[in-house]
Amino acid sequence: MVAAIGIHMTIEAVITLSMMVAVLATLALTRISPDAVLLGAIAGLAVVPIPGEEGWRFGVIDAPEALAGFANPGLLTVGVLFIVVTGLRETGAIDLVGGSLLGRPRSTRGAIGRLFAPVCGLSAFLNNTPVVAILIPATVDVARRLKTSPSKLLIPLSYAAILGGTCSTIGTSTNLMVSGLVESETDLAPLGLFDIAWIGVPCALVGGVYLLLFAPRLLPDRRGSGETLADPREFTAEMAVPSGSPLIGLTIAEAQLRQLPEVFVAEIERSGELVRVTPDTRLLVNDRLVFVGAVEAMRDLQQLRGLAAIDDQPIKVNAKRHHREMFEAVVPQIGNIVGKTVRESRFRNAFEAAVLAVARQGERVRGKIGDIRLRPGDTLLVESDRQFAQRHRRDFLLVRQVDDSGRRRHERAWIALAATLGMVAVAAFGILSMLQAALVAAIVMVLTRCCTVKTAREGVNWSLLIAIGSAIGLGHAIESSGLAAMAGEFVVSATAGHPWLALAAIYLLTVILTELVTNNAAAAVSFPFAIATSAALGVSAMPFVIVIMVAASASFSTPLGYQTNLMVMGPGGYVFRDYLRIGVPLSVLVAIVAILLGPVVFPF
């Protein structure tokens, strides 16, 4: 069949196709991380020996082509946005954004509904990468409150952003690129801001209904890379309502203390007397609240606005609040602190750390933290500087740092939000590119101490950046080897003379390339074939242009085609087949809508 239509594959195309098959098989059948697989693929394509008339040479692509993805503005933008997100997280601004956008749904399906509309709307006008980056932590928090896995919500987050991007010409960089090609390469009228919306909005509506109905069933109940196993221990912690707290005068229910995940208010002490805890109990200044819950809940509790840790232990911790971290420390069988209360042991003086909570296996620890008598095997949640574990590892049976336990700098939250909104505004109005705007916002975050240089560096997901950069390099190999052009020629030739079939073929070609490489590369490769096909058939090119814009963004079936799919892969604990299970039906639905509506809205 290939030979019949005059397509002859070169040795470079054969090697590249074989490498692509190997990459997809490895990702689908093993648990090897995507960054390792993709980096290995471009390394292989850069050094593979190829026979020729003048002897052997090495590499389908040369080193600059293989590494070009790591200098790609989109990749750099994603990397810089991690620093912006770190600033939002460290100041607690993400909690404010997530709370206002996502609310407090009561079910997984309700959470998907609350998530879909705002994310889809924002992504129609903003770059969807920062939208997803900002909302990943907030979405994980919603999952924890619902006591469900983040894997139930993070793929819908990515898909909502992708579908929102198809609703306007500025929704994605791919749309903008195709719009530019229309002006420079065709005689068509320039695309308006909402020309694609006639197709994109119905696709988004169909996609939203599909996710609401089927995502809770099709998505796995799996823990992400940052989650720990469920912790059956009950920690007891005390918190105070300080003067000036926004919680003063609110009831327990109004302060949303009953909705905290994995923790509850066990007691309230007021002026030396215990107050009965009910949803209608009002909080007063200097109230002492006793909380019981898991270690992750204790971490979140210490970061909550309006509450303060009770400080009745002598000697202050030397490190500044934002330089402190939380650690779990298990009391040994023999030691100076065994048999003493926390206050008697002068824990702060001995270890330069403050005890925030105590857990005792199978037993709820009652009383004030300072009055708890320590026993061998007790687990203490302590706050200290970052060298605590290294200093005192021999003083305890076990010392473990609690992930993401740094204190939130709530007083700087408005700076972080202002920097982020400014970034979005100047990029949306074209004053700066997305990369330039993100760089300015990241610099502001560091200079204003919304995050430190160390936390900014630690906040970057290097594995994701390697995967994206390698995927772009793989796309260069597919293009330079001629494989993409051959595939396009084959599909177009096989459907010549039938506009609807040709439209479907162009859509299918673009979707396949998008899933294998990047959406921009897929659109760039498909565009000339679409224009040539429409000219040969004597029909308008506009339906082909619109379906290319939709197909290039509608990457649901693999984590490779769109960077937001890769961004949620780690936090959601997803594997390759998860995207196939939920993404293939969604891809088919969006394809049907786009192919049927395209020629109706924009006639051939």
Domain match, 535 and 467 both: yes
**Final residue in a domain of this structure, among 384, 401, 418:** 401
Print the domain residue range for 280.
Answer: 235-401
Whether residue 69 is found in the same domain as residue 141: yes
Domain-embedded: residue 75? yes
CA–CA dist 167, 123 (Å, integer): 8
Are residue 394 and residue 466 in the same domain, yes or no? Answer: no
In a domain? residue 55: yes
Single out the residue in 352, 378, 401 at which a domain terminates: 401
The token pair that represents 225 in the structure block = 């890379």
Residue 415's CB is within 10 A of a number of other CB atoms, namely 19
- Residues 191, 326, single domain; the answer is no
> What's the confidence (pLDDT) of residue 487?
66
Q: Are 377 and 400 in contact (CB under 8 A)?
A: no
In a domain, 573, yes or no: yes
CA atoms within a 13 Å half-sphere pointing along the CA-CB vector of 289: 31
- The verdict on 266 and 123 lying in the same domain is no
Tell me which residue of 244, 246, 164 sits closest to 205, measured CA to CA: 164
User: Which helix (DSSP H) or strand (DSSP E) does residue 207 occupy?
Assistant: helix 197-218
Residues 392 and 248 in one domain: yes
592 lies in the same domain as 471: yes
| Angstrom distance (rounded) from CA 484 to CA 162 | 24
| Segment 10-44, tens digit of pLDDT | 888 888 888 888 887 887 677 787 788 888 988 99
pLDDT, tens digit, for every residue of 501-551?
A: 889 988 988 888 777 666 776 777 777 778 877 877 778 889 999 999 999
453 falls within a domain: no
Residue 40 CB neighbours (<10 A): 16
One domain, residues 197 and 252: no
223 and 242 assigned to the same domain: no
HSE-CB for 24 with a 13 A CA cutoff:
16
If 0-12 CB within 10 Å is exposed, 13-18 middle and 19+ buried, where does residue 232 land? exposed
Q: Which two tokens stand for residue 73?
A: 């503005």
If asked whether residues 481 and 370 sit together in one domain, one would say: no
- Give the number of C-alpha atoms closer than 13 A to the C-alpha of residue 311, restricted to the C-beta side: 10
In-domain check, residue 444: no
Cβ contact 329:398 at 8 Å: yes
Q: How many domains does the chain have?
A: 2
Angstrom distance (rounded) from CA 259 to CA 350: 37
Please indicate, yes or no, whether residues 190 and 316 belong to a single structural domain of this protein: no
Q: In Å, how far are 135, 197, 418, 579 from 139, measured between CA atoms? A: 6, 27, 21, 18
SS3 (DSSP) at 524: helix
Domain end (from 401, 430, 449): 401
CB under 8 Å to 80, separation ≥6 — which residues?
A: 435, 438, 439, 441, 442
Where residue 358 sits, what CATH number does that domain have?
Answer: 3.30.70.1450
Look at residue 581 and tell me if it is in a domain: yes
DSSP sequence for 148-171: S-GGGTHHHHHHHHHHHHTTSTTS
DSSP character at residue 380 = E
Alpha-carbon span 16 to 5, nearest angstrom: 21
- Dist CA 488 CA 466 (whole Å): 28
Asked if the structure places residue 256 within a domain, the reply is: yes
Neighbouring C-beta atoms of residue 584, cutoff 10 Å: 13
| 211 and 336 co-located in one domain | no
Name residues of the chain where pLDDT drops below 50. 1-6, 225-230, 312-319
449 in a structural domain: no
Amino acid 156: pLDDT: 94
Contacts of 581 (CB under 8 A, 6+ apart): 218
